[in-house]
Amino acid sequence: MLTITTLSLFILFSTCGGISFEEDLTISIKEKNALDELRDRVLPELTHDYMKKDIFLVRWLRARNFDVDAAEKMLLKSLKWRNTNSIDSIGTEDWSLFERNFPYSVDSVNKKGQPLLIISPSTPWDIRSILLTKDGPRLTRWMIKMLEDATARIREEQSAGRNVTRFSMVNTLENFNLVESGCLRCLSVFTAFTNNYEEHYPQTMDQMVLVNTPDIFDGVLRLIRPLLSPSTRQSLKIMGGNKSKWQSQLLNEVDADQLPIDLGGNKPDDF
Ligand SMILES: *[C@@H]1O[C@H](CO)[C@@H](O)[C@H](O)[C@H]1NC(C)=O
Ligand SMILES: *[C@@H]1O[C@H](CO)[C@@H](O)[C@H](O)[C@H]1NC(C)=O
């Protein structure tokens, strides 16, 4: 086995659930050959330095079981998508409406040091209402920005010398009024998010933790599950609706000073 060169391998002893840092950084010699082959093929298309790193390139190979042709196709398609949709400048658009009504944060980390993408637990995301307005379609783009921000935070942590290859996400389900309102169009927002993640940010999420999930959510999940790749499906962690229970579960994974008060921590709400 070899280790990927951008971050050197380190032995971690506790890997309670999720994907460990060293799993992401360990490849076989055969896989390393595939990685070199992929790099040779796509190098002229890679527009950012971070894309030239092993840790970036290997994700596309993993998403395609190290089939170089398939990984190349996937990556080139995604680079084209980035270009067509001006993803590089997504952060410079006027997002004030969404910052107010669909807040999230990426500035906390969990105990593994992974950046946490936290959907605001205190400002309910009223997906149903925005879909009735002309701004509806921008919600999907806002959620692409979320993925851009979360993956940029991974690179930030790496540049700071931290051993981090993925982000994790904490999502408070009661906020999504789609269940009570039976809003089928709202579901399309989640499927678009899931598809964008799978196609353009593969292998960047460790866990997606869902808290305060209503019992009825099982039904919703049955609809969403088939859309997820096996590894994403594995990353889903449903913590249920018992508040004291999910809060203590969350505190096992996130230090209190990194966790917003509404999620059981003591981090002042800055959404
Ligand atoms: C990351 O791993 C390297 C070894 O590969 C180790 O020297 C370093 O201390 C680790 N950094 C942190 C912040 O854990
Ligand atoms: C919630 O979970 C706690 C244990 O964490 C348990 O003591 C309590 O009875 C549960 N509440 C309900 C309503 O099930």
Domain map of the chain by residue range?
A: 2-84, 95-263
Instruction: Report pTM.
Output: 0.87
Query: How far, in Å, from the CA of 9 to the mean position of ligand 1?
Result: 8
Query: How far, in Å, from the CA of 241 to the mean position of ligand 2?
Result: 10
Three-class secondary structure assignment of the chain: CEECCCCCCCCCCCCCCCCCHHHHHEECHHHHHHHHHHHHHHHHHCCCHHHHCHHHHHHHHHHCCCCHHHHHHHHHHHHHHHHHCCHHHHHHCCCHHHHHHCCEEEEEECCCCCEEEEECCCCCCCHHHHHCCCCCCHHHHHHHHHHHHHHHHHHHHHHCCCCCCCEEEEEEHHHCCHHHHCCHHHHHHHHHHHHHHHHHCCCCEEEEEEECCCCCHHHHHHHHHHHCCHHHHHHEEECCCCHHHHHHHHHHHCCHHHCEHHHCCCECCCC
Query: How far, in Å, from the CA of 20 to the mean position of ligand 1?
Result: 14
The answer, yes or no, to whether any atom of ligand 2 lies below 6 A from the CB of 252, is no
Give the pLDDT of the chain (271 residues) as one tens digit per residue. 555 544 333 323 333 446 677 788 888 888 999 999 999 999 999 999 999 999 999 999 999 999 999 999 999 999 999 999 999 999 999 999 999 999 999 999 999 999 999 998 888 888 888 999 999 999 999 999 999 999 999 999 999 999 899 999 998 866 555 555 567 777 788 889 989 999 999 999 999 898 887 776 777 777 777 777 787 778 888 888 888 999 999 999 999 999 999 999 999 877 7
Query: How far, in Å, from the CA of 7 to the mean position of ligand 1?
Result: 9
Please give the CATH superfamily to which domain 95-263 belongs. Answer: CRAL-TRIO lipid binding domain (3.40.525.10)
Domain 2-84 coded CATH 3.40.640.10:
no
The answer, yes or no, to whether any atom of ligand 1 lies below 6 A from the CB of 9, is yes
The answer, yes or no, to whether any atom of ligand 2 lies below 6 A from the CB of 244, is yes
Ligand found nearest the CA of 247: 2
Asked if the domains at 2-84 and 95-263 fall in one CATH topology, the answer is: no
